[in-house]
Amino acid sequence: MKSVSKNNILFAVLTSDKPEKLKRCLRSVNSNSSPHERIVVINTTDNDFASLASSISTEYEFPFHISESNGTPGLGKNSVLDYFQESDQDYLVLIDGDDYLTLDARDEIDQFIETHEFDVLALGETNVLIPDGEISTREWLRSRHFLRQIFKSVSRKELSEVMSLFNELKHYTTGGVPMNRPFIFTKKGADVKFDEELLAAEDSLHNATCLNTDDIDYVVVEDSPIYVYDNTELGRFHLALKDGVNNLADKIYGKLDAIKNR
């Protein structure tokens, strides 16, 4: 457990499934925070998992909050933002429950807060966990593992559509990746909400919203891989692709146009 810093931070773990990965996440947050700085937000349509996650949270001495879910990640993230806005903390660190923080993450987080003026701070690149170990996001996007997962969701002839979508999303990101991870929020930054309709790409749409909101100070920090995204299983984006590449892409393009034209 890290000693208390002068920064008043809420470390919020958002979970909807995968209990063993939740335990790993809680261990990583435990090593980067003090007990009064933590919350688990359980956002799921699975009542059995909600009960199990409550028990796991109690076992790891984390308070928990169960929020209403419609099955989309964006509503879950907004429920964390809402919880934070009612809290006494000044900063929110948002962690997905199937991912985890590195051991030295707290030191970097404190440094981000002390050296940057922001309402929303995103990570330009995270590490990605695949079956062979941790690699960078750029390495992951070029890996055979990434292509194998894509081909579990789409046909080879649809791959160009996926890559075109990624290239469009890169217009709103830093570092040549299709998504920068929204990671630290102030109370003002928590007013910028996530899309609650799509099953995937909510972070990319949030990136675009922040960039197109004049009174929001939005910062992307590069080359600080303190967050590890678990991609050992098919993620929400891959599952969303199974409903049709063009269908998902058209919805994302339409939402990006609406953000640009506000």
| Dist. CA 25–CA 7, nearest whole Å | 21
Give me the residues paired with residue 130 across strands: 133
| Dist. CA 190–CA 178, nearest whole Å | 22
Amino acid identity of 82?
Answer: D
Are 189 and 216 a contacting pair, CB within 8 Å? yes
Give me the residues paired with residue 221 across strands: 123
Token pair of 78 as six digits: 């907004």
Amino acid identity of 247?
Answer: N
Q: What is the pTM of this model?
A: 0.95
Are 173 and 113 a contacting pair, CB within 8 Å? no
Predicted confidence at residue 156, as pLDDT, reads: 83
pLDDT in tens, 108-139: 999 999 999 999 999 998 999 999 999 999 89
Q: What is the mean pLDDT of residues 155-182?
A: 92
Burial environment of residue 98 by CB neighbours within 10 A (0 to 12, 13 to 18, 19 or more): buried
Amino acid identity of 166?
Answer: F
Q: Which ranges of 132-193 does DSSP label H, i.e. alpha helix? A: 137-141, 144-153, 159-169
Share of the chain above pLDDT 70, in %: 98
pLDDT in tens, 98-111: 999 999 999 999 99
